[in-house]
Amino acid sequence: MFTGLIQSLGTIKPLGGDSWQITCLPQSPELIMQDLACGDSIAVDGVCLTVEEILECGFIATASPETLRRTTLGKQSEQKYVNLEASLRVGSKIGGHFVMGHVDCTGRMQAVEQTATSWEMTFIAENAIARYIVPKGSIAVNGISLTVAEYEPELSQFKVAVIPLTYAETNLRYLRPGSLVNLEGDILGKYVEKLLYPGNRQNTASDSNFDEITPAFLTENGYL
């Protein structure tokens, strides 16, 4: 589990097959490399990978076929750097939101605009994650915990405001219109959906099951 607060930038290089070499940039490798052990989990652009071999300033990991199918690792990408975050330790501060490192799908950045206080970035999401996007809710973009500022469901399009610190210390600043990104919806929304629709995750707000959500239903299930 992660928090979506990036600790370092790195580079990634395919080694053949499903193996990848991830190297930390020299500016801030210590947050990733300190106490790093084989078997540890590291989020690489939001993708949870297991450390199989430790290098001088990086590590080697294997990506499963499912990971390659769902993420930018298995798609042609011009991304120069990847975001890195070590897994959350018990007792650590949670400054972002619970990020599992299980990417739902890829999306594309549509536009970016600099304002007086931030960078406003617009992304297009696939249907696999669109139903979990809510205004003021959380979403992970390339492993970065961000807050949804606006959402247009008919376009599967959402906007986030990125503060200067996040923009400067992550790979968001290298994105261009059309760039692929990894997207992960908030795990809380997925559990709520599962509780409301056991056995059928494809139902949406337009389904008649929503008629069953009444004050009495909420009280009975502890929401009072």
Please return the burial class of 40, using the count of CB atoms within 10 Å of its CB with bins 0-12, 13-18 and 19+: middle
Contact between 82 and 12 (Cβ < 8 Å): yes
Cα gap 189→137, rounded to integer Å: 9
Q: What pTM, to 2 d.p., does this model score?
A: 0.85
Cα gap 57→53, rounded to integer Å: 11
Please return the burial class of 198, using the count of CB atoms within 10 Å of its CB with bins 0-12, 13-18 and 19+: exposed
For 30-114, where are the alpha helices, taking DSSP H only?
30-33, 65-70
Cα gap 134→147, rounded to integer Å: 9
pLDDT along the chain (224 residues), means of 10: 94 91 89 93 97 96 94 81 91 83 95 95 91 92 96 93 96 95 92 79 46 64 63
Instruction: Report the pLDDT value the prediction gives residue 2, as an integer from 0 to 100.
Output: 94
Cα gap 10→29, rounded to integer Å: 9
Domains of the chain and CATH, by start: 8-86 (2.40.30.20), 105-188 (2.40.30.20)
H/E stretch holding 42 reads strand 41-44
Instruction: Report the pLDDT value the prediction gives residue 212, as an integer from 0 to 100.
Output: 59
Instruction: Report the pLDDT value the prediction gives residue 76, as an integer from 0 to 100.
Output: 67
Instruction: Report the pLDDT value the prediction gives residue 31, as an integer from 0 to 100.
Output: 86
Q: Of 137, 118, 180, 129, which Cα lies nearest the Cα of 157? A: 129
Instruction: Quote helix, strand, coil % in the chain, to nearest 5.
Output: 25, 35, 40
